[in-house]
Structure 1
């Protein structure tokens, strides 16, 4: 059955918006009773109603833009979908299709082809193949996903077909059909025909059908696929469109990767559901020239953009004044920031940097969400500026919010203030965002810190092929409620009517919007140099930024006592992590064997290790940077702001 409420949201809502050129006429908006049941049906409707309007434009590495109109995108998806629809399920009721493509039009067309064919689209985070080590990571992740979901087909560039075929054979799997989406069909049609199949006349998907298996950007060895239905996609896309007033005549601009939920759902599903035009580049293009993002917004008169915090920080601090010349950002009504902790300094810096170029302060919109809830969970009201709240760090440690002046700063020798960024309230009326005591399973009052639990039609169906993890994460119950809740693993507090994120219960390290499992980082470091023994990868807070973390590597030397070039070990460790995971390292310390705190069963006590590092509790043999072997003052790194009442050392899925 379709989730209740999935079809009650208007995809476009322009109430209370200032007059802006290009916004849709409210009298021309679709009747809410005619809301399409799936994204594929929405694409078909837009292709019929406005065939020549630009749907997606991608500016690739050459700098030349390529565009699909709504009619063109629908045609490509229908033709490729016709090739996917008859494929065998290989143990599933429908075919699973792994999309292992770079960002671009082919990825978008392939995703909608899966939706058209009622096949399950499987996202894949393809590591770069620039080095041998990176190639090994690609193979490990691809193989783990092939084994986990056994796709009937893989959509990939032809140059990777042999690599993927070899991986499948090595694992004893039936080699999947390898398709090159640039041909609209396959290297061999399922029926053996030489020509592409006839386009599907109508979408085959149903609201309750599994539409997307979104593998989180987490563990390489045990990736978890989040099961997202068509109804989930519609509810989240429609909810975003309603909150943002999205509709035909508007443009969204971004550069996020499409294997990430914020890129695929925030920048593709939501705008195309609403009939917008999307203009995209790639993360690499943004990093080469951050100003190009802003100039695209200005030139296309975009009303919406989405990026993680580091994107706005980069644009604020690394775009020279002369590159800002000629910008007009007065068109930008919503600049969504999410996927990692939203820093108050970034909001202030970005707003200050681009206010002279027309940026409205209220355009900045912190949001909170996660793949397990499809994407969005809460967002700030579109008419309000971001809410910044000064809070006592000591009070947060005790599990509550109060101002620094109300916490006896004098007695404690000086209580530091932290600025919490409000992420608004639930983004739809039928979504509940609760702050809960995870041990007692009771709602906590405003002002008290607890774990964030979510219930509503956007919550996914669980993790593919992992019933234990699904029950633990998606089956939580609160006393006095018959709803089932998603445990997010994040810590938050309701204050002033808004959700504020204050930390995480999980060990996952979030860097630039990407989740990194410490076990993966540790495995990489352990093979970086012969002198490396046991390793602990820990996240340490960024000074003054609630919830933001950087990576510290605590490396025990396997051959302590031997004459080793410590600098060579430090360099090898940093290079291995950067090449394999794309994450910058805050510090590396080389330690004697047994220095890292562990449980009796041998598990790293990560929070204790992070606390000890922050207070210079180790006596390192060497470190990077050089100051890593000097005492760490509290001003350099603040302790993690976790309430003592929560069982932080418990394992949590």
Structure 2
């Protein structure tokens, strides 16, 4: 068996009896704890029940929300030598006809022979059948009473373990091919960098399992090393954000992770909570990644959490991407959020990150994201591929054992690495004493008058205006690449529909953006809440948002 599957089996064998570590799901209504040994036994039963539907190399897709069913299901597929693809989940606002069409394209692209269906998506069974998609119900497989799989199927290290669907801005699906060797390398690197201790640490997470940070970081890593984990769903968190600190308090959570927006939301709620309502003193590692990090939002969370015993140095800023399995770099532990303050003019015009004092006019702050994890390298090159020095902004590349060998696309397999093993991340950034700094996605950079303006600067300025929903503003390029390149802002507000209020909001946003970046948006579009285009994992779809700007 692969080294990755060996770790899963070893974890199960070490956590079988009373006192064994494992997975808690079903919070807060019906908590359900199983040791990793019990999860493994369920996985063997599911694999046995699948029979000939699960053969080495089989691509199996999963559509379910309950982590209690997903955990043994993904392990069953790995034990049987197959690969897992977590399908993006429809929401109440999803057009099911469009979702079905997209899902069929994804299943065709990855060559999936089977979909494992679980709550609350059983009603989609008829739709799958209409499209000739073979499927089995997870609840029935788990309780079938079939003879368990005798033992793990032997697969090579380069066999596909996970096909991670990307959250791109186009309609074309693409899957990152993560091998058993990739998973093993990255989980060991994260364990070392985060100083994870299976006997001491408890992970608490609500992150979606169709996203790499949720699936790899908050389920696969605990399952592989035998660390206790508490998993709820994103819907649970969105319905009641303070469930997150509540579960940390109840289970004495030490490790958690989330995108920046979630810390901003919970920070505001914690500030209004009663004294003594939570105890966050057990937390030692709160990872912040998956989207640009706003130091102000981090301070909102850590300052509000301090009243409940949260150590501000527990916040760890990180850089990661599915193409690296998950993690590329972690900031040093025990130092909290450290920022690099640079001159915005030098950054935009000279592509250099010149350090300045925080109170300097037109200063820009970036979070330091740490050095590359063990087994990974990061460098910065210009458009001709020449390596750049410290504080020179260019294209970030990565290489190492955790880096994917390629994608699956609708046009067929696509390699991700050049002849020397480097993968172009698509991000602009620089290095400071070996630490990674990300400026933004290269394709989103707005070029005006010889300046490189990053959308995140515009979006943060817009969100500072009262009435704009936090984290719900998108800066979009117009006439990209032409001499007339400009940008617009598309945002969400509860004031949408009130003509006078909208007019005032547009004026205030334009003024705030002009003050922040020295350029005025060509238009400010106000949408009602829930209207801004986003990927299934919650990231802004700037290209789709651009289509909402009226032609001028």
TM-score with structure 2 length normalisation? Answer: 0.81
Match of 2:115 among 149, 154, 158: 154
- Kindly state the Cα deviation for residue 585 of structure 1 after the two structures are TM-superposed: 5.4
CA offsets 1:75-109 (integer angstroms, 9 cap, x no match): 111121234463377xxx72110111114211111
Corresponding residue for residue 608 of structure 1? 485
CA contact (8 A) 2:173 2:410 kept: no
For 1:587 and 1:303, the matched residues in 2 are separated by 36
Instruction: Note closer, same or farther for the CA distance 1:108–1:608 as it changes in structure 2 (3 Å cut).
Output: farther
Please tell me whether the aligned partners of residues 445 and 455 of structure 2 are also in contact (alpha carbons under 8 angstroms). Answer: no
Q: Which residue number in structure 1 is paired with residue 418 of structure 2?
A: 476
Distance 2:125 2:454 in 1: 37
TM-score by structure 1 length?
0.69
Q: State the secondary structure of the residue aligned to 2:305.
A: helix
Q: How does 1:364-375 map to 2 (within 5 A)?
A: 364-375=315-326
Between Structure 1 and Structure 2, which shows a larger proportion of strand residues?
Answer: 2
Q: Judging changes above 3 Å, is the alpha-carbon distance between structure 1 residues 393 and 324 closer, same or farther for their aligned structure 2 residues?
A: farther
Q: Paired residue for 1:425, among 371, 378, 386?
A: 371
Q: 1: CA distance between counterparts of 2:400 and 2:70?
A: 29
SS in 2 for 1:470: strand
Q: What SS does structure 2 have at the residue aligned with 1:152?
A: strand
1:318 to 262, 269, 281: 269
Which of residues 244, 254, 260 is equivalent to 2:211? 260
Task: Summarize the Cα distance change of 1:231–1:84 in structure 2 as closer, same or farther, 3 Å threshold.
Answer: farther
Runs of at least 4 residues of structure 1 off by over 6 A? 466-469, 604-607, 611-614
Any conservation in 1 of the 2:62–2:87 contact (CA below 8 Å)? yes
Q: CA deviation at 1:246?
A: 1.4
Tell me the residue number matched to 1:17: none
Gap runs ≥5 in structure 2: 447-452, 492-498, 520-542, 544-552
Look up the SS of the partner of 1:293 in the other structure. Answer: helix
Q: Say yes or no: does 1:180 pair with 2:147.
A: no
User: 1:625 aligns to what SS in structure 2?
Assistant: helix
Instruction: Quote how far apart the aligned CAs of 1:586 are.
Output: 5.7
Shift of 1:48: 1.5
Answer whether contact 2:15 2:22 (CA < 8 A) is retained. no
**1:422 to partner: Cα distance:** 0.2
1:123 matched to 2:86: yes
Contact 1:144 1:220 (C-alpha < 8 Å) held by counterparts: no
Q: Work out the CA distance in 1 between the residues paired with 2:178 and 2:303.
A: 39
Q: Distance in 2 between matches of 1:195 and 1:334?
A: 40
| 1:336-356 CA distance string (max 9 Å, x none) | 000001111122222211123
CA 1:55–1:612: 2 relative to 1, 3 Å: closer
Question: What is the aligned partner in structure 1 of residue 7 from structure 2?
Answer: 42
Structure 2 residue aligned with 1:55: 22
- Contact 1:254 1:293 (C-alpha < 8 Å) held by counterparts: yes
SS in 1 for 2:307: helix
1:298 is matched with: 249
User: How many angstroms apart in 1 are the aligned matches of 2:145 and 2:340?
Assistant: 62
503, 507, 522: which one aligns with 1:626: 503
Structure 1 unaligned residues grouped into runs of 5+: 1-35, 170-174, 187-193, 478-482, 510-537, 551-573, 589-595, 615-621, 642-648
* Alignment match of 2:290 (pick from 336, 339, 343): 339
| SS of residue in 2 equivalent to 1:493 | strand
For 1:232 and 1:496, the matched residues in 2 are separated by: 27
Alignment: residue pair count = 495
Distance 2:146 2:482 in 1: 56
1:272 aligns with 2:223: yes
**CA pair 293-78 structure 1, distance change in 2 beyond 3 A:** same
* 1:239–1:85 distance in 2 versus 1, CA, 3 Å: farther
Write out aligned runs for 1:185-334 (5 A): 196-218=146-168, 221-249=171-199, 250-323=201-274, 325-334=276-285
Equivalent pair of 2:21/2:226 in contact (CA under 8 Å): no
Matched-pair contact (CA < 8 Å) for 1:434–1:453: yes
Aligned partners of 1:148 and 1:606: how far apart in 2? Answer: 39
| Contact 1:78/1:116 (<8 A) preserved | yes
Per the alignment, do residues 585 and 400 of structure 1 end up closer, same or farther by CA in structure 2, a change over 3 Å counting?
Answer: closer
* In structure 1, distance between residues paired with 2:346 and 2:10: 53
User: What's the offset of the Cα at 1:203?
Assistant: 4.6
Q: CA deviation at 1:363?
A: 0.6
CA distance in 2, matches of 1:264, 1:256: 8
CA distance in 2, matches of 1:330, 1:612: 40
Larger Rg, first or second structure (1 or 2): 1
Compared CA separation, residues 287 and 597, structure 1 to 2 (3 A) = closer
Q: 3-state SS of the aligned residue for 1:238?
A: helix
Cα distance in 1, alignment partners of residues 231 and 102 from structure 2: 26
d(CA) in 1 for partners of 2:127, 2:489: 44
